[in-house]
Structure 1
Amino acid sequence: MSSEWLPEVRGDAVRALSVLRAVQNDKRKLGTEQLCKKSLANASGVAFLFNFRMGVGITLGGGRGFVMSRLPNGGWSAPLFITVDQVGLGLTLGLSEVESVIVLDKPHLVDWFSTQGVGVSAEATIAEPLEAVGGHRNANDLAHDSTFRFSTAHGAIVDFSAQGSAYLLASTKNAGVYGQQASVKDILGGQVIEQV
């Protein structure tokens, strides 16, 4: 792995673990820990997204994350790194940072991330300062009734907007971590090992 990516990759791993801890420590009566464990046991993949949103009327946002695929032996692939760009229009005021885990229950949802994906959603989000809150519901390919999604939000934002999101492969980062020859299929198929 190129040393330039090491701090960011480690930071991504720390953030992913913090989201999983938040799921485990969630004390609301949602049963999120059991739901997450049940969903993970049968999942085709998992995505971790770390993004921000801000705006006054127009919402702008972005971030990064990674996707891992379930391998035939029951293990997990190396992470496929992605970036997220968002723009929206509606009633928006404030700034928030959101960290999410999305359990992908179908192989086509994992495959969706392996191409340049674009989703459109109508969202309503209220983030309270320094409190973990449940995520938002959206109308794109990732809003699937049996897909588990848990988000923690920090900041203060009121957001009732129509948004578009572009999920892009972080090609430079993936090449820096796995080498130029590693394809998306190699990464999600368990054919590469991180050189950490």
Structure 2
Amino acid sequence: MKNHPLLFVPVAAAVILTVSHPALANPVEEVQVSNNVFQDLVRGTADQRIPPEILRNAQGIAILTNVTRGGFFLFGGRRGDGTLLVRNQTGGWSNPVFINITGGNFGPQFGVSSTDIILVFMNRESIDRLLREPLDLGGSISVAAGPVGGNVVSPVADPSPNIYAYSRSEGLFAGVTLSGSKVSYDARDTARFYGRSVTPQEVFTGQVPTPPGAVALRSTLDQYGAAALR
């Protein structure tokens, strides 16, 4: 009887991902962690920030916390949860809805790593599509590693992508490539946060009162967004 050790690789990888990913935070905790991540960005040095030019034109910001990637031999995968806020008609930021990110990739990877990810949406089309169906990054929706500090690429030389992606690892922010990952709207956590079933449209247009847990996050984004608009 012949042995087929490679047949067990996906199973082993799945086990590693299961045991290494911590218990997901409840929605209130997720908003608090999202606020902490973005506050760290605000307090960072000029060369570790999202350029004001990017934020000035941003239509949405997603903050995905504790995104874990595990690998074993030739298989790897990601899993994380977070919040999405959009720019409202006054130029400020809406209440949050909840999203998650998943993805797999192939290549020689070992171990497990955890990071925070920020997605800056440059148009409403990509946001609207995310709210309708899972969004495949790098497919019909382009995603690029975001510039930091003064490293802004001219839109003439390099057409602007739909989404800029950033990661924070060990306190440092940098652009990151997420092609092959999938971002999805999480209706269940959104309902848990607001205490009832709500639509993203209701949340984004202010038809739903701001929960106490969302005040700090909105304030942080408004503060940093206002600085970018000046």
Match of 2:53 in 1: 38
Measured on the aligned residues, the alpha-carbon RMSD in Å equals 2.6
Matched residue type, 1:25: T
Matched residue type, 2:196: Q
Determine if contact 1:19/1:151 at 8 Å carries over to the other structure. Answer: no
- Point out where structure 1 has 5 or more consecutive residues left out of the alignment: 122-138, 155-161
Structure whose residues are more often helix by fraction:
2
Where 1:193 maps in the other structure, the secondary structure is coil
Match of 1:14 in 2: 36
- Within-5 A mapping of 1:1-196: 5-21=27-43, 24-25=44-45, 27=47, 33=49, 36-50=51-65, 51-56=67-72, 57-119=74-136, 141-143=141-143, 145-146=159-160, 147-154=163-170, 164-196=180-212
Provide the rounded CA distance (Å) in 2 between the counterparts of 1:53 and 1:90: 13
Rg (Cα) greater in structure: 2
Provide the rounded CA distance (Å) in 2 between the counterparts of 1:46 and 1:8: 15
Where 2:85 maps in the other structure, the secondary structure is strand
Provide the rounded CA distance (Å) in 1 between the counterparts of 2:206 and 2:51: 23
Determine if contact 1:20/1:101 at 8 Å carries over to the other structure. Answer: no
Instruction: Note closer, same or farther for the CA distance 1:120–1:45 as it changes in structure 2 (3 Å cut).
Output: closer
Please report how far the alpha carbon of residue 26 of structure 1 lies from its aligned counterpart in structure 2 after TM superposition: 5.6
What's the TM-score, normalizing by structure 1? 0.70
Structure whose residues are more often strand by fraction:
1
- Point out where structure 2 has 5 or more consecutive residues left out of the alignment: 1-25, 145-158, 171-177, 213-230
Please report how far the alpha carbon of residue 140 of structure 1 lies from its aligned counterpart in structure 2 after TM superposition: 6.1
Please report how far the alpha carbon of residue 85 of structure 1 lies from its aligned counterpart in structure 2 after TM superposition: 1.8
Please report how far the alpha carbon of residue 78 of structure 1 lies from its aligned counterpart in structure 2 after TM superposition: 0.7
Please report how far the alpha carbon of residue 102 of structure 1 lies from its aligned counterpart in structure 2 after TM superposition: 2.1
The 4+ residue runs of structure 1 with deviation greater than 4 A are none
What's the TM-score, normalizing by structure 2? 0.60
Determine if contact 1:109/1:142 at 8 Å carries over to the other structure. Answer: no
Provide the rounded CA distance (Å) in 2 between the counterparts of 1:112 and 1:89: 26
Where 1:92 maps in the other structure, the secondary structure is coil
Determine if contact 1:19/1:100 at 8 Å carries over to the other structure. Answer: no
Provide the rounded CA distance (Å) in 2 between the counterparts of 1:58 and 1:25: 36
% identical aligned pairs: 22
Instruction: Note closer, same or farther for the CA distance 1:113–1:20 as it changes in structure 2 (3 Å cut).
Output: farther
Please report how far the alpha carbon of residue 170 of structure 1 lies from its aligned counterpart in structure 2 after TM superposition: 1.9
Aligned length: 162
